[in-house]
A and B are shown apart, each in its own frame.
Chain A
Amino acid sequence: MSLSCGCHFIPPHVIEEMAKNGHDGAQASLEISRAHRLRRDERTVNLVRQLHPDGQPLAAAAGATGTAQRKVYDCGHGTALHVPTRLVRSEGGAVVVDPIVNQVYDFAGNTRDYLKTLGRNSIDNNGMDLVLNVHYGTNFMNAFWDGDEMVFGDGDNQVFTSFGKSADVVAHELFHGVTQFTANLVYKGQPGALNEHFSDVFGSVVQQIIKKQNAGNADWLIGDEIMGPTLRGEALRSMKYPGTAYDNNLMGKDPQPAHMDQYYAGPNDNYGVHINSGIMNRVFYLVAMDIGTTAAAGIWFETLGKLWSTAKFNDAVAVLVRVARNQVAQGKVPLGSPQSVRAALKSVGLPR
């Protein structure tokens, strides 16, 4: 039975419930409904954004659909985003003097190209432009996705250097956009940890593609390129050995668990979104080692499209295994992939 046409007559919560129970038609319908909702939200946002308070149109407003063009803005250590007069490199533009501008431009292009190989047209699958803001704030020690565009700080040059010089950071932030337009995982607790996990996974996958690496020779570290001069060799997260990425006086000790027995249930970090993601990161690493990064990433990407906003680890377990089985049947991944996924999940204590 197809639910993708006529879905307006079925209440969204019923479709979501059917999707949770593994009904592929319902999952497809859920995805279409989400896309409609997000485009509607986006139109509203654009209507608001297209007019600056002074009445001037903001042509560069994020979220404009079209041809997935890259637009890099230099915040000049301020906090205003996509200021039209500060557009320093746009699609097809020449290399500029500032290496950070060129790096985020290239890494965003690499990620966009990878999305194409997965059959996706940019963040929203509708050619959304990739808006990247660099040199945000003063000594700003973070990178984030604001719901429409990416933002990168320069770090304090002690703990962190520029966040824009790392492919896994840029791909991580861009994939938060992809998650927003697919599963739209709530940024709290287990759905939030899944949100972070998918960004780490595809940040790592894009990095491996750029460096022409495979699961066996990749470092599986996140953020190692942005560590400050006194912290070289450290990283922010290890997908291979969660909890071992750093241990020093400036950063403290990596709190990521590698098993559900060490699950962090406290209130910090939106109830552990960057902490408990380590458990699922370890699962991806193990599966990639077994069937290859490309095949594992294919399973994970399809899973992201089938999850829903409140999905928890056990939900992801069920969908991952079902997707792996389907992809074996379609000849997309090697025989034994579902067993590889189950074994990896079991080794971290999932399902629970």
Chain B
Amino acid sequence: MWIRFRISGGFAGLQRACTIDTAGMNREEGQEWVDLVRASGLLSLPARERIGHAPPKAVDLRVIAITIQDESGSHQFGFDDLTLPSEAACLVERLQQHAVCDPLDT
């Protein structure tokens, strides 16, 4: 399983990202990520629920972009602080612990 995570904006305006590749991990560690993704429910979401944006009057929200690649293909998700499914909070928190500063796209 391969995961690309990026979180940007918010009050702090920071850009942070990480890439997780279970191929380079030991079995236990890799399984932990697989379990986190499964528990997040993201891969079970129908296509229309994989992108969610809060109403425009909500400001200072962080934008969260996640790509997950597994044996079923590549899956993309886009949320913000208010639309992130609660089941995915643990996964995002764990990904944030691995995220480092990410230079701006210009």
When the two chains form their complex, are residues B11 and A146 in contact, meaning their CB atoms are under 8 A apart? no
Report chain A residues within 8 Å CB of B61: 142, 144
Other A-B contacts than A142-B61, A144-B58, A251-B14, 10 sampled, CB-CB below 8 A, are A140-B81, A141-B12, A143-B60, A144-B10, A173-B60, A266-B105, A269-B9, A269-B13, A269-B15, A274-B9
Q: Mark A237-277, 1 if CB is under 8 A from B, else 0.
A: 10000000000011111010000000011111110011100
Of the residues B12, B14, B59, contact of A145 by C-beta under 8 Å = B59
> A237 vs B11: C-alpha distance in the bound complex, in angstroms?
10
Nearest A-chain residue to B9, judged by Cβ? A269
B46 at the interface (CB under 8 A from A): no
Q: How far is the CB of B90 from chain A (nearest CB, A)?
A: 8
Report chain A residues within 8 Å CB of B93: 138-139
A213 at the interface (CB under 8 A from B): no
Q: How far is the CB of B5 from chain A (nearest CB, A)?
A: 14
Question: What count of chain B residues pass the 8 Å CB interface test?
Answer: 32
Nearest A-chain residue to B55, judged by Cβ? A147
> A312 vs B70: C-alpha distance in the bound complex, in angstroms?
44
**Given A147-B55, A195-B59, A268-B105, are A141 and B13 also a contact pair (CB < 8 Å)?**
no
Report chain B residues within 8 Å CB of A223: 11-12
> A197 vs B16: C-alpha distance in the bound complex, in angstroms?
23
Q: Mark A142-177, 1 if CB is under 8 A from B, else 0.
A: 111111000000001000100100000100110010
The list of the 10 closest CB pairs from A to B, nearest first, reads: A252-B101, A274-B13, A147-B57, A144-B60, A142-B10, A266-B106, A146-B58, A143-B11, A269-B9, A147-B58
Q: Enumerate B28-73 residues with CB–CB distance to A below 8 Å.
A: 54-63
B103 at the interface (CB under 8 A from A): yes
